[in-house]
Amino acid sequence: EVQLVESGGGLVQPGGSLRLSCAASGFTFSSYWMHWVRQAPGQGLVWVSRINENGRGAYYADSVKGRFTISRDNAKNTLYLQMNSLRADDTAVYYCARWPLTMGGDYWGQGTLVTVSS
Amino acid sequence: QSALTQPASVSESPGQSITISCTGTSSDVGGYNYVSWYQQHPGKAPKLMIYEVSNRPSGISNRFSGSKSGNTASLTISGLQAEDEADYYCTSYTSSLTWVFGGGTKLTVL
């Protein structure tokens, strides 16, 4: 059974940093693109970032470029999102998703809440 | 990276059909057949309903179908059921090598 479990969310002050993790199981992690998607409270889904199978190709939404870094450790079957210079508008539930190339996110985690507030 | 345009809400009676539109540009929806649709119930993770414009993942009812014309993709749900009441989002690959979501559509089954 495919499982994605996010962790690392919490309350952080503006300007602070946080690293999210997404532990994957039930599939060959190193064979799939992985994505992060976020959803602010009461708002819609927003694509954040994606990374290719070997970790050498990463892309970002303009809103997070230069502040967020996506990475992966295929030996640990884990996806990461390092978030720096956090702002109030980064407050959201962050989901990781398995995303077979052009197919879309076929499996999603349950999400982890990040709250940026003083 | 402007969000794709979806109607904020739609409503229809059980048993009827509904179509939700998703309008982008030639740099996203119109340029690629990489549009997918998601269903999201309150407090739950999104669920993939349609991928690559018109393909259904295994286990998704054939009441759900997708299509595209020009810069607009569409999701059609036939034989509406109470359990279809949810938020629906489209997403498309873009020429910037990124993905972009629509603003979401709240479906109410009357």
Q: What pLDDT sits at residue A45?
A: 97
Residue B107 above 80 pLDDT? Answer: yes
Q: What pLDDT sits at residue A101?
A: 82
B56 secondary structure, DSSP code: P
Residue B1 above 80 pLDDT? Answer: no
Nearest to B45 among A62, A102, A109 (CB): A109
CA distance linking residue A114 with residue A8, whole number of Å = 8
With CB atoms and an 8 Å threshold, state whether A45 touches B57: no
Q: What pLDDT sits at residue B2?
A: 85
What are A73-107's pLDDT values in tens digits?
999 999 999 999 999 999 999 999 999 988 899 99
CA distance linking residue B78 with residue B95, whole number of Å = 32
Q: How many CB atoms lie within 10 A of CB B99?
A: 25
What are A13-65's pLDDT values in tens digits?
999 999 999 999 999 999 999 999 999 999 999 999 999 999 999 999 999 99
Side-chain-side CA neighbours of residue B78 (13 Å): 6
Distance of CA B63 to the CA centre of its chain: 13
Compute the average pLDDT of residues B67-74.
97
CA distance linking residue A37 with residue A47, whole number of Å = 5
Any CB–CB contact under 8 A between A50 and chain B?
Answer: yes
Q: Report chain A residues whose CB lies below 8 A from the CB of B100.
A: 47
Interface of B with A (CB under 8 A): 1, 3, 32, 34, 36, 38, 40, 45-48, 51-52, 57, 87, 89, 91, 93, 96-104
CA distance linking residue B3 with residue B17, whole number of Å = 26
Q: What pLDDT sits at residue A103?
A: 87
Residue B106 above 90 pLDDT? Answer: yes
Q: What confidence category does residue B104 fall into, taking pLDDT thresholds of 50, 70 and 90?
A: very high
